[in-house]
Amino acid sequence: MIKQIFTWWNYQTVGTFFYTLFFGKLIGKDSFGNKYYISKKGKRWVIYNGEINASKIDSDWYSWIHYQTDTNPAKNKPNKYSWQKPHLENKTGTNEAYRPNKITNKGKDFKKYESWKP
């Protein structure tokens, strides 16, 4: 509770908590555990599960939260194809970030740039 009062990046703030409590109607949850709300006036918002990171919203809920569609993704699950990968949050800046083979080869002397040879 003390984290909620003094930090906004870990979870919802106290103001968002009370606004959600009095005006929010739960629409659904996604695979990350994020909860999506709507008010009577049509305002939409998300309460993130854990650290606040906008890349944790998958494409179905992204469309809903940005008013591109009014269909509820929790009730009307769109068809997913076998070739589609599940949504992942952005891992840039973490140890799980994508690094090309050139950078991950630790045995070689890595140069950031290579000179061009005609």
Model confidence at 107: pLDDT above 60: no
111 belongs to a structural domain: no
Residue 99 domain boundaries: 2-104
pTM exceeds 0.75, yes or no = no
Q: What are phi and psi of 11, to 5 degrees?
A: -165, -165
118 belongs to a structural domain: no
More confident residue, 7 or 20: 20
57 belongs to a structural domain: yes
What total of structural domains would you count in the chain?
1
> Mean pLDDT over residues 68-96, rounded?
84
47 belongs to a structural domain: yes
Q: List C-alpha distances in Å: 100 to 7, 10, 104, 110.
A: 35, 31, 7, 12
SS3 26: strand
> Mean pLDDT over residues 93-117, rounded?
68
72 belongs to a structural domain: yes
H and E: helices and strands count for the chain:
4, 3
More confident residue, 28 or 54: 28
91 belongs to a structural domain: yes
